[in-house]
């Protein structure tokens, strides 16, 4: 008989190592249901767990040493790219990168006001069902007590186990816990630190990345061959780095047993990547009675075509109902905190969430934290707007599944090429736009604005192509009064109450015969 997690830990005397878990699983015969090997054919058996399909909404903290500067994403790279805004800012603020490099800035990350339990309580209240901590960005700096690099958050910067403390807060609040890794491309990404200015008084003077004392951060001199072009692929990356990458990822999985692991790109380095993913899935099965509950993401659709992983679209949405579950990851502003950045409104976030869920997806939303680790005023306002809407309407979000069509209205007539970086190509949703989800015989119709007098849903007409059948009852979530509504051959018409409920959007709960 499978033991629960507390009994498992007692059985092991409190040990959490993957080795101890493996011994326990073999003793109990629990790992037989998973037992993945590092091959494509073995990973093809994987299926997305129900908890993830039910969760729909997660929040991400894309936060690390680059956040200390508060000057936007990819600061550590762009400070070595002459002509960029971040290069100019760096020279003016800190000095030339031949003298003051990224290695000199990591200790500026203080996290002085970071309260993970308080933040997690806010994220839970806003409706998040899973939380994702950054584990390591392209900057090669681990946010845990890393076994394989001195460049980590316990040894430097805030001198705290960021991943571990986030996990503790997530578990206390009943959220599933995940980690993001952006490490695999670091070998190419950091090549610019081995370069030099091409013009100006310091032209040709090498940046600090060439110093062999810091090769464990900036990589060895051989990576300089990638200095002029960042190709987002495995080509040319040495075996030594691939092995080191796998060691780091195995350390992360063994220490934190995440429910969710995000890779910024495709499943990297073939055999090394498959070893990582199979290990993640097997550790998860050892913790959950032989059933793998972990999720791994890839941005390459061929990786996830049959089992293996969850397809993730960065700042992108699908063009219709996808056969398999998927995810959008996006941000209310820039990925790393930037002072004065313009944020998505709560309305924009909810539009994205409802559209994505209607198409069989989940939304993972980043709130970029500043150096302090405390949300700024504008971020709190966005979060409060999301919280207020979810408190009324989330019934139609969680544990829902797509209907026959994802929506009605003018936005459905605009075709968007599915994939990454297309969220801004989609029309803003209005009261003329509707999105659908279902639970059993209940249909939820999200009207993405406040109709002036009545909501009109053409897909719910008796003679519509969707053939919904006769409607028995219509309710408006958040409204106590009875609604006046009528279903005929052409549509369902619902009169709005006098009191306006929301500018963001409303939810009609429709009981079908």
CA 66, 99, 64: angle at the middle one, nearest 5? 10
Rounded to a whole number of angstroms, the distance between the first and last alpha carbons of the chain is 42
Order of all β-strands in the sheet with 454-457: 454-457, 492-495, 485-487
Rounded CA separation 107/215 (Å): 18
SS3 of 133, please? strand
Q: Which residues contact 262 (CB under 8 A, 6 or more apart)?
A: 132, 178, 179, 180, 181, 296, 297, 312, 329, 364
Rounded CA separation 379/332 (Å): 8
Rounded CA separation 25/42 (Å): 19
β-pair partners for 142: 136, 152
β-pair partners for 217: none
What are the distances in angstroms from CA 107 to CA 98, 190, 401? 18, 19, 46
Relative orientation angle of helices 239-256 and 162-172, to the nearest 10 degrees: 40
Residue burial 31-67, b: 16+ Cβ < 10 Å; e: rest: beebbbebeeebbeebebbebbbebbbbbbbbbbbbb
SS3 content of the chain, % helix, strand, coil (to 5): 35, 15, 50
Query: Is-contact 58 365, C-beta < 8 A?
Result: yes
Instruction: List domains and CATH numbers for the chain.
Output: 5-75+110-136+147-182+234-259+267-396 (3.20.20.80), 407-512 (2.60.40.1180)
Task: Say how far residue 54 (Cα) sits from the centre of its chain.
Answer: 16
Tokens of 135: 């584990």
Query: Is-contact 394 378, C-beta < 8 A?
Result: no
Question: What pLDDT is recorded for position 10?
Answer: 39
Question: What pLDDT is recorded for position 33?
Answer: 53
SS3 of 253, please? helix
**Among 234, 235, 204, 241, CA closest to 220:** 241
**Half-sphere exposure in the Cβ direction for 389 (13 Å, CA):** 28
Judged on CB neighbours under 10 Å (0-12, 13-18, 19+), 334 is middle
Per-residue pLDDT for the chain (513 aa), expressed as one digit of tens each? 344 443 443 333 333 444 444 444 443 333 345 799 999 999 999 999 999 999 999 999 999 999 999 999 999 999 999 999 999 999 999 999 999 999 999 999 999 999 999 999 999 999 999 999 999 999 999 999 999 999 999 999 999 999 999 999 999 999 999 999 999 999 999 999 999 999 999 999 999 999 999 999 999 999 999 999 999 999 999 999 999 999 999 999 999 999 999 999 999 999 999 999 999 999 999 999 999 999 999 999 999 999 999 999 999 988 899 999 999 999 999 999 999 999 999 999 999 999 999 999 999 999 999 999 999 999 999 999 999 999 999 999 999 999 999 999 998 887 777 777 678 777 789 999 999 999 988 999 999 999 989 999 999 999 999 999 999 999 999 998 889 999 999 999 999 999 999 999 999 999 998
Rounded CA separation 175/60 (Å): 12
**Among 83, 105, 107, 106, CA closest to 95:** 105
Q: Residue 277 has what DSSP assignment?
A: H
Question: What pLDDT is recorded for position 34?
Answer: 73
**Half-sphere exposure in the Cβ direction for 363 (13 Å, CA):** 27
Write phi, then psi, for 391 (nearest 5 degrees).
-60, -30
**Among 58, 65, 57, 59, CA closest to 336:** 65
Number of other CB atoms surrounding residue 472 within 10 Å: 11
Residue entry with tokens 């979810």: 390
């Amino acid at each position: 008989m499978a033991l629960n997690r507390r009994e498992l830990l007692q059985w092991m005397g409190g040990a959490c190592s993957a080795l101890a878990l493996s011994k326990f699983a073999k003793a109990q015969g629990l790992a037989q249901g998973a037992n993945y090997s590092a091959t494509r054919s073995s990973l093809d058996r994987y299926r997305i767990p129900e908890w993830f399909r039910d969760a729909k909404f997660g929040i991400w903290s894309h936060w690390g040493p680059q956040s200390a500067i508060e000057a936007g994403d990819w600061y550590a790279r762009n400070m070595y790219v002459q002509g960029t805004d971040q290069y100019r800012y760096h020279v003016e603020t800190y000095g030339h990168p031949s003298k003051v490099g990224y290695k000199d800035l990591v200790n500026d990350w203080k996290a002085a006001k970071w309260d993970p339990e308080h933040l997690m309580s806010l994220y839970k209240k806003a409706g998040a069902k899973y939380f994702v901590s950054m584990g390591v960005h392209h900057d090669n700096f681990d946010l845990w007590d890393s076994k394989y690099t001195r460049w980590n958050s316990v040894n430097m910067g805030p001198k705290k186990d960021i991943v571990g403390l986030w996990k503790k807060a997530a578990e206390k609040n009943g959220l599933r816990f995940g980690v993001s890794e952006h490490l695999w491309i670091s070998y190419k990404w950091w090549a610019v630190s081995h370069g030099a200015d091409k013009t100006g008084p310091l032209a040709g003077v090498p940046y600090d990345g060439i110093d062999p004392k810091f090769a464990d951060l900036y990589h060895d001199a051989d990576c300089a061959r990638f200095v002029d072009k960042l190709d987002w692929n495995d080509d040319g990356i040495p075996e030594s780095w691939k092995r080191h990458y796998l060691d780091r990822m195995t350390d992360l999985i063994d220490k934190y047993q995440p429910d969710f692991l995000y890779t910024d790109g495709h499943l990297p380095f073939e055999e090394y990547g498959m070893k990582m993913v199979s290990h993640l899935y097997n550790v998860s099965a050892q913790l959950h009675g032989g059933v793998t509950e972990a999720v791994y993401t890839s941005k390459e659709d061929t990786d996830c075509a049959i089992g293996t992983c969850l397809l993730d679209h960065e700042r992108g949405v699908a063009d219709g109902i996808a056969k398999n579950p998927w995810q959008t990851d996006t941000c209310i502003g820039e990925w790393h905190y930037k002072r004065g950045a313009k944020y998505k409104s709560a309305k924009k976030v909810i539009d994205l969430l409802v559209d994505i869920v209607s198409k069989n997806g989940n939304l993972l939303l980043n709130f970029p934290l500043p150096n302090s680790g405390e949300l700024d005023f504008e971020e709190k306002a966005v979060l409060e707007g999301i919280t207020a809407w979810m408190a009324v309407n989330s019934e139609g979000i969680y544990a829902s599944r797509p209907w026959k069509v994802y929506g009605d209205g003018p936005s459905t007539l605009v075709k968007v090429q599915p994939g990454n970086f297309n969220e801004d190509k989609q029309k803003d949703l209005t009261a003329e736009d509707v999105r659908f989800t279902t639970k059993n015989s209940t249909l939820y119709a999200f009207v993405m604005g406040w109709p002036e007098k009545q909501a009109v849903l053409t897909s719910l007409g008796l003679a519509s192509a969707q053939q919904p059948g006769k409607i028995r009852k219509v309710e408006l979530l958040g409204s106590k009064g009875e609604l006046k509504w009528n279903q005929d051959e052409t549509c369902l018409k619902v009169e709005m109450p006098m009191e306006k409920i929301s500018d963001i959007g409303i939810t009609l709960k429709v009981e079908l015969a």
